[in-house]
């Protein structure tokens, strides 16, 4: 099979292309940059075709898709800065990238009849309650601009194509980019260096499960090898935790492998209200029901603690 992957300068796109290369597939990697300059992307750049592409330009999208004629498009490119998406000056750009960019790829995919994998988010739901969101639930109620844009992208896929996978994820982390784990570790290091100890306040009333892009990439390629189309939820296994619980484990493991000094960091749980409102409303309930994966014969992602261990050793 031939693959076309968008957003390869990001966490997930980077890992998807590396997974494809590992399995011996032909891959075209794309992003808006004229070249892949991030050093973490050297492996990607050296073992696949890289195509600079602005997904908001339909003529450019159509040209590249028709030229390479992929069997599968894996669409990882997106505006993901959730708070910045709320700024009035950015909202049109968020829509352009996450909605119109997706529509452009969907139109091109429709012309050649290829499979399409779209990456979405739990943010399409209200984030309320305590029950895990089921993949086929249509009680959409995005809390913010980013969530609405990803929902609109979903609908562009599901209302146009037949051979599609929509995969909703949450709490994403990967080697090639910024993420919560890096933020926590760097904050602890900085405070220890400056004050001799670190004190972190982390919300304890937002609950979900982390997703390691390295593990997710394997699942996405597994899906592409099948025709078990539909909407899925995918995070690492290990049950549901709060950001506070996640942070405690990050600090513990980082101390155990020597990334930060032992017994120098205190983590204090706070409510979302106590922490202070961000520009974008965040979901309290990011629990995702992943039973559809096993029902369709897909291997579940490893435990999130195992994923964290492997990730920290790569930092």
Can you tell me the distance from the alpha carbon of 217 to that of 23, in angstroms, rounded to the nearest whole number? 12
Helices (H) and strands (E) in the chain — how many of each? 12, 15
DSSP reduced 3-state for 207: strand
Q: What residue has token string 């994923």?
A: 307
CB neighbour list of residue 216: distance below 8 Å, 6 or more residues apart: 12, 15, 167, 169, 172, 234, 301
- Catalytic residue of the set 146, 212, 232, 284: 146
Catalytic annotation on 146? Answer: yes
Token duo for residue 50: 């890289």
**Side-chain half-sphere of 135: how many Cα atoms within 13 Å?**
21
Can you tell me the distance from the alpha carbon of 270 to that of 267, in angstroms, rounded to the nearest whole number? 10
Can you tell me the distance from the alpha carbon of 16 to that of 18, in angstroms, rounded to the nearest whole number? 5
Pairing of strands 172-173, 72-75: unpaired
What DSSP designation does 38 have? -
CB 14 within 8 A of CB 182: no
CA-nearest of 210, 215, 217, 213 to 176 is 213
Token duo for residue 276: 């202070």
Can you tell me the distance from the alpha carbon of 257 to that of 312, in angstroms, rounded to the nearest whole number? 8
Can you tell me the distance from the alpha carbon of 280 to that of 159, in angstroms, rounded to the nearest whole number? 28
Catalytic residues: 146
């Amino acid at each position: 099979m031939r693959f076309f992957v968008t957003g390869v300068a990001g966490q997930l796109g980077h890992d998807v292309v590396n997974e494809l290369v590992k399995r011996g597939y032909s891959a075209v990697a794309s992003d808006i940059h004229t070249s892949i300059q991030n050093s973490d992307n050297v492996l990607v750049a050296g073992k696949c075709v890289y195509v600079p592409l602005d997904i908001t330009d339909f003529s450019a999208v159509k040209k590249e898709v028709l030229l390479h004629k992929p069997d599968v498009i894996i669409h990882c490119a997106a505006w993901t800065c959730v708070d910045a998406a709320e700024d009035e000056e950015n909202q049109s750009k968020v829509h352009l990238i996450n909605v119109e960019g997706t529509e452009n790829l969907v139109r091109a995919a429709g012309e050649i009849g290829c499979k399409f994998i779209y990456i979405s988010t739990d943010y399409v739901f209200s984030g309320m309650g305590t029950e895990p969101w089921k993949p086929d639930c249509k009680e959409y109620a995005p809390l913010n601009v980013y969530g609405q844009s990803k929902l609109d992208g979903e609908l562009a896929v599901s209302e146009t194509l037949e051979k599609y996978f929509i995969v909703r994820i949450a709490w994403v982390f990967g080697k090639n980019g910024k993420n919560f784990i890096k933020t926590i570790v760097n904050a602890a290091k900085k405070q220890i260096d400056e004050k001799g100890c670190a004190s972190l306040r982390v919300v304890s009333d937002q609950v979900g499960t982390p997703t390691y892009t390295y593990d997710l990439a394997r699942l996405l390629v597994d899906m592409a090898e099948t025709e078990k189309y539909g909407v899925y939820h995918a995070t690492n296994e290990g049950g549901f935790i709060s950001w506070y619980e996640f942070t405690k484990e990050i600090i513990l493991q980082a101390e155990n492998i020597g990334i930060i000094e032992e017994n120098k960091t205190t983590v204090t749980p706070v409510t979302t209200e106590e922490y202070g409102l961000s520009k974008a409303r965040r979901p309290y309930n990011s629990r995702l029901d992943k039973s559809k994966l096993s029902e369709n014969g897909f291997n579940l992602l490893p435990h999130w603690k195992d994923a964290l261990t492997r990730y920290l050793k790569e930092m």
